[in-house]
Structure 1
Amino acid sequence: MDSKTSDPTADGRLGSVQDPPLRRTARDASKIVIVGGFGVGKTTMVGSVSEIRPLSTEETMTQAGVGIDDLSQVEHKNTTTVAFDFGRITLNEQRVLYLFGAPGQERFWFLWDRLFSGSLGAVVLVDTRRLEESFYSLDRLEAHGMPFVVAVNRFSGPRPSIDRVRDALSLPGDIPLVECDARTRESSKTVLITLVRHLARLQDPTAFEEIAP
């Protein structure tokens, strides 16, 4: 694979950007993992929502992946995550999330156990065109006993209802299932807030944590 470098500036120009420092009021930091199949938008989600320049281990795909990586539904994808993506988002004055996007290809799944270590919860990002690729993520999280929410990243093509997606994934009713656009910061942030609220309810069923958008 050939290395791919991404421009750190928001406007596409070369140059340095000063990342916002962690707030002095931050008291609660949590590690969150974003998992899912190949090309579902994990790197995009981390990049769209992170308040710091995301660390990405994307590499340019080469002939080495021919016959291994399934590009049938992601023909225009020419890069792939080979370790993990990393970002940070502050939800309110006290709560900070550290985001780790897991690699999607099967040949890199051996890295998932280390990414799961110390994680409070997870987001399973799914593409309705390839729902079958979500089953491995769901099985692994359930085996680890890790709480999670499922986010449907809406791409072009058929748009089955949330209820149909839940049925197709055999997802219990107590696991949140939401729609999102991983390219949009507010949409991705809503997914993370949904996860934090889900975790709060699991710790205290009577709790409904209000988090400022």
Structure 2
Amino acid sequence: MLLLAGFGDNASMFEALPDTELAERFEVMPLDLPGFGRAAAGETSLSSLAGFVAERAVETGAEIVVAHSVASIVASLAARRPGCPLKTILSLEGNLTADDAYFSGTAADYDSPAAFRAAFLARLDRMAATSPEIARYRREVAQADPRALWELGRDARRFSERHHPGEILRDAAAAVYLYNPDNCPETTLAWLRDHDLPRLLLDNATHWKSVSQPHELARKIGQALESLR
């Protein structure tokens, strides 16, 4: 089971999951995507990251991926690649509509990696005052490669303006959307009402449930996989 962090984050957001019941059933493998965490930066687009994930899936034989936020698009594109063994995507509040790029998409409003990084970290500083999960997230974003952060955000905006991420997710593999409606924009909730993507509620969850409630998330992931049988 591959675990993919969302925009600006890295494998540390999943560090508690290998100590949950998931590890009794699966080899749980958090990945750092290029430019984030300990992975060296390279080309940072949704397509290039999808190629990276597809290669890791082939190497490990992974058939399941848990993908957070914008990484849901990456997982969807990876699963569509010829020869990729990924058959199941569990999307943790992944991007379904353009409005889901509420962090990543703002990169397109800045002309340089440095300008975006400074503005994004300042925004997170304000939010972190009342949220330990965002305080952790801000620390990880600060370690990301600035150009990788900027390029991925700009590409996420372009992609979401030209495509429907939710439809790509639904068509790429067997998929379940795990979410707390309180964390989602209204356009995404409307999309869910109008489409038949299987979904599972995460009660009272922050956007980073793997950090705040790893054992509960592990239980919900198990439920999601059972629902696909």
TM-score class, shorter-chain normalisation, is 0.3 to 0.5
Higher helix share: 2
Higher strand share: 1
TM value normalised by structure 2: 0.40
TM value normalised by structure 1: 0.42
- Asked which structure has the greater CA Rg, the reply is 1
